[in-house]
Amino acid sequence: MSYDFDLFVIGAGSGGIATARRAAQYGAKVGIAEYDRLGGTCVNRGCVPKKLLVYASHFPNAFEEAVGYGWSAVSSQVDWPTLITAVNNEVHRLNGIYQSMLDKSQVKLFPYRAKLLDAHTVEVGDQKVTADKILVAVGGVPVRPPIAGIEHALLSDDLFNLKEQPKKLVVLGGGYIGCEFASIFHGLGSEVIQIIRGDKILRGFDEDLRSEIQGAMEKHGIKIYTSADLIGLEQTADGVVVKFKTDAGEETVIADAVSLAALGRKPNLDNLGLENTAVEVNAGAIAVDTYSQTAEPNIYSVGDCTDKVNLTPVAINEGRAFADTMFGGQSRTMSYENIPTAVFTTPEAATVGLTEAESVEQYGEDQVKVYRSRFRPMYYTLPGKDEKTLMKLIVHTETDRVLGAHMVGDSAAEIIQGVAIALKMGATKAQFDATVGIHPSSAEEFVTMR
């Protein structure tokens, strides 16, 4: 049977665009549909604009620390409209780059919402197109949980459209997105209150990392309410009233903005037409095998809508592996072991491999040895600041292989990226020890821990 396209991609986020371009490089005729801006969550509402705001939030500390190095004191405050306009201008620039990349790859863009009509037919706008293979890469969206007055709260996406900087921000939830925005707005000068259900932020991360970041955030001035159950929100003339219960009883806080950044995301599957195909959805996410294939043999899916590992580089690698296998004659699958990730809080954190708890569960407590180092980096000695860096290695005693590496401190993401290569190659603690450190640096601590 003849089709309009060899591959049609639904969703032009990082994973969808990477897949489309790689398949086109192999000679496939490719179409892609996207009703929103090109680049998906990462470029438009996630990684890129968030990291730019992280950079902006660090300047007040830098001004203060400079005095310890002999610079005259600086009195400065952020101009929110200037900052957010610059951030959004950079996002628009990247949108244009993605369009240029699609054009150069001869991938045809359909600027419409796509809907599956059957296993080979997609409705885009007022037309129907057919494809031999279809890839669903529609990502995820933030959700509003069923809480009274939840409509008065902002979602994480909304924070990039604020006309004014909140004077007082309440962050609901302790996931990495909520913690990052709490740190960002605190650094920019907003009063920040964070309300979390558990006793610690960043559930799923290593326990030492969680404790270190939470302690530092509180020391910096972020008020964190733990073990809290939300009762409801109410819009008043004074702002948004948030009511919740803790062990101490019922509490109330008032803010001019509330972010729901960390109360969950879900695969963006609404009105996609999956019911017109044999694609299976499990726990709200598209079910796929190791080759990203769904229960419908010619339909595949990658990225956050499969809810495996919700990271941009993972979606890109999944998509490229699919394109290499289907169109490049290079059968390969995505490996989910030793995926590094970072949390751009203040202080920053990064991690790769197993947590201490995961290591003990998998290998047994007697087969796991933990190395820790906590110190004040040299940079903070002249400013006289009590800022700490935490580094941690988890080692399998029987094989001496390093199972996990975790860090809290300046440049954690940059440092762990290099350490991740070693873990991916199966490096041992002895090989870490045999590596000469770069002195003086914080990173050398990873090869000197005894």
Axis crossing angle, helix 14-25 with helix 80-104, rounded to the nearest 10? 20
For residue 131, the cross-strand partners are 5
Kindly report the CA angle at 440 between 437 and 444, in degrees rounded to 5?
Answer: 30
Decide if 328 contacts 26 (C-beta within 8 A).
yes
Name the catalytic one among 152, 186, 406, 439.
439
What is the identity of the amino acid at 185?
F
Q: Which residues have CB under 8 Å from 145's CB, separation 6+?
A: 263, 264
Q: How far apart are CA 355 and CA 204, in angstroms?
A: 9
For residue 253, the cross-strand partners are 242
Q: How far apart are CA 132 and CA 129, in angstroms?
A: 11
- Per DSSP, which regions of 265-401 are E strands? 265-267, 281-282, 285-286, 299-301, 341-343, 349-353, 368-375, 389-396
For residue 350, the cross-strand partners are 342, 407
Decide if 199 contacts 227 (C-beta within 8 A).
yes
Q: What Rg do the C-alpha atoms of the chain give, in angstroms? A: 24
Q: How far apart are CA 295 and CA 280, in angstroms?
A: 6
**In the block, which residue shows the tokens 């229960």?**
295
What the block records as the tokens of 288 is: 């796929």
For residue 223, the cross-strand partners are 193
Three-class secondary structure of residue 160 per DSSP: helix
Q: How far apart are CA 101 and CA 10, in angstroms?
A: 17
Q: How far apart are CA 72 and CA 307, in angstroms?
A: 50
92 is catalytic: no
Q: How far apart are CA 134 and CA 212, in angstroms?
A: 45
What the block records as the tokens of 300 is: 């595949």
Q: Which residues are catalytic?
A: 439
